Amino acid sequence: MKQIILTGVKPTGTPHIGNYLGAIKQAIDLSKNDEYSTYYFIADYHALNSLKTREEMRRYTKEVACTWLACGLDPEKVVFYRQSEIHETTELCWILMNVTPKGLMDRAHAYKACVQANVENGKDADDGVNMGLYNYPILMAADILLFNTKFVPVGLDQKQHCEMARDIAKYFNKKYGYTFVVPQEKIQEKTATLLGLDGRKMSKSYGNQIPLFCSEAELKKLIMSIKTDSTLPTEPKSKTSTVFEYIKVFASPEKLAEMDRRFDEGLSWAEAKQELFNIMNEVISPMREKYNYYMEHYGEVEEILKKGEHKAREIARETLERARRAVGVIE
C-alpha cells in the first residue's frame, strides 16, 4: 500500500503568482512521485468562515479548481475533490470533537490572533468569533484522518494545525484503540517569497498582487507598474529589486545569466520590465490557455471533481465506519 499524501486548498481568493510559486507548483511536482497516493481537495467548508457571500464561494471554488488543473494537476493520478461533497468529513469531525480538549483549541494561532486583535481594539474578546473559526482545526483533523494520511504538505503557517491533527489522532487511538494513521506534516520550504508590486508583502489587503491568470495585457500593465528606484536608464540596476527577484524566479538559467549581466551593465527599467513580461508570459501563457478553457467548460471540471469524490468516498466510508465502530455507535 502506498503512503498517502493529502492537502487542502482554501478557496478564499483569486489565485495569484505567489500562490503558484509558494504552494501550487510544489504540490503538483510532489503529486508526480509514484511512491505516494495523492489526495488534493478544495477546502470549501474551511473557507466558509472568511467568505462574505455565496457568490464568492461559487467564484473562488471555480477559479481554484480551474487553476490547479491548468497548472498541471493530473486527475488520473491525484484524487481531486471538494471537501463539502465528502459528508463523512463533517461526521468524523463531530466524533473527533469529543476527544479534543477545549484548551487545545484555545491555543490555536488563528483564534488567538482574533482574540488579541479584539482586546487591542477594546472589543469583547470573542467579538466576531464564530464556532467555525474555533473548531477549524478539528475539521482539518477530520480531513486528514479520514484518508489515512501519512504526510501533509503545507506551508509553515499550517504547522500548528497539523500538530493538532496528530494530537487528536493520538487521543482517539489511546482512548479507543488504534484507529487512525498518525499524520506528519511536511513543511514546504518556500522556494521564493515574492514581494508585491509596491515592494511590500504580497497581500490581498494591499491590492499589490498579480493574479496568476489575468490577461496578457493586464499582466503587462501590472509588471510595468512595479515600483522601481530612480536610477538613470544607462546605470546598473539593483539585483535586490522586485523586478530582478521576479526574473530570478521565472527565467531559465541562460536567460537569468543574460539578465544578470545586463543589470550590471545598465539598462532602463522599461527594458527590464519588458524582458520580465516576456519571461513571465512564456511560463504562464500555456497554463493561462488551459485555465481559460476550463473556465469556459466548467462542466468538464465538475465531472473531474465528481470522479474524485467517488474515489475519495471509498476510503472515507471505510475510515468513518472504523471510527463509528471504535466509539460503539455501531456493532
Residue 13 CB, nearest approach to ligand TRP (Å):
12
DSSP 135: T
Phi-psi group of 128: left, alpha or beta (phi > 0 → left; psi -120 to 50 → alpha; rest → beta): left
Q: Supply φ then ψ for residue 80, to 5 degrees.
A: -115, 120
# binding residues, ligand TRP (CB under 6 A): 13
Contact (CB, 8 A) for 180 and 173:
yes
Tell me how crowded residue 203 is: count the other CB atoms within 10 A of its CB. Answer: 12
Judged by CB under 6 A, does residue 64 bind ligand TRP? Answer: no
**69-108 binders of ligand TRP (CB under 6 A):** none
Segment near ligand TRP (CB under 6 A); pick from 154-162, 166-174, 218-226, 262-270 = 154-162
Segment near ligand TRP (CB under 6 A); pick from 115-123, 138-146, 169-177, 277-285 = 138-146
Side-chain half-sphere exposure of 202, counting CA atoms within 13 A: 21
Sole residue written with cell 473562488: 60
For the window 22-51, what string marks contact with ligand TRP as x by the rule CB under 6 A?
---------------------x--x-----
Judged by CB under 6 A, does residue 161 bind ligand TRP? Answer: yes
Residue 105 CB, nearest approach to ligand TRP (Å):
14
Judged by CB under 6 A, does residue 158 bind ligand TRP? Answer: yes
Judged by CB under 6 A, does residue 146 bind ligand TRP? Answer: no
Judged by CB under 6 A, does residue 220 bind ligand TRP? Answer: no
The b/e string for 95-110 (b: 16+ C-beta within 10 A; e otherwise) is bbbebbeeeebeebee
Segment near ligand TRP (CB under 6 A); pick from 5-13, 207-215, 238-246, 281-289 = 5-13
Segment near ligand TRP (CB under 6 A); pick from 84-92, 152-160, 280-288, 292-300 = 152-160
Closer to ligand TRP at the Cβ: 141 or 272?
141
For ligand TRP, the binding residue among 144, 168, 194, 267 (CB under 6 A) is 144
CA distance 210 to 159: 26
Amino acid identity of residue 66, one-letter, is C
Of 286, 209, 227, 282, the closest CA to residue 17 belongs to: 209
- The gap between the terminal CA atoms of the chain, to the nearest Å, is 27
For ligand TRP, the binding residue among 51, 152, 312, 320 (CB under 6 A) is 152
Spatial CB neighbours of 148, under 8 Å, sequence gap ≥ 6: 4, 180, 181, 315, 319
Q: Which residues bind ligand TRP (CB under 6 A)?
A: 6-8, 10, 43, 46, 140, 143-144, 152, 154, 158, 161
